[in-house]
Amino acid sequence: MIPRIEKLDDKKLIGRRLTMSLANNKTGELWKSFMPGRKDISNKLTNDMISMQVYKPTHFADFKPTNEFEKWASVEVTNFDNVPNDMETFNLTGGLYAVFDYKGLSTDNSIFQYIFGTWLPGSDYDLDDRPHFEVIGDKYKNNDPTSEEEIWIPIQPKRK
């Protein structure tokens, strides 16, 4: 699977967040808390949702399933003028991303094993210290093998 390389502009996001780890995954809980209030976000740019992970700089260098990170359930907005009371804002800094068009179960981690274990080491890029995210659009179906989403991995050119 070969990604496309995209230069992302800064994005404004509104959503909810939880701290979790792979060993203590609270993704379902996060999305259940976000979905009812999503309709109260009036200035969405699209109907797409963004599942974002904010990792500590050492997360992958010293990887363990118990490493904690911040996960967001969010949408992109035009501005922060109207933020629902139970939601927070996040400024996603733009930059270079490897974008993988993924089809399959969201619980199947083999795509990430491929990205970090095969594609990234063999590419001309290093991992960058910015948020990782998935764009969940019209073709996303929870727990369905025909589900489709985009996986955005922050990258920078390898230092020679």
Mean pLDDT, range 94-112, rounded to an integer = 91
DSSP state, residue 1: -
Burial class (CB in 10 A: 0-12, 13-18, 19+), 94: middle
Q: Can you give the CATH number for the domain in which 52 is found? A: 3.20.80.10
State the residue range of the domain holding 86. 4-157
Number of separate domains in the chain: 1
Residues 106-157: tens digit of each pLDDT: 778 889 999 999 999 999 999 999 999 999 999 988 878 899 999 999 999 9
Answering whether pTM is above 0.85, one says: yes
Q: How far is CA 109 from CA 8, 14, 146, 157, in A?
A: 25, 26, 15, 25
**85 contact partners, CB below 8 Å, separation of at least 6:** none
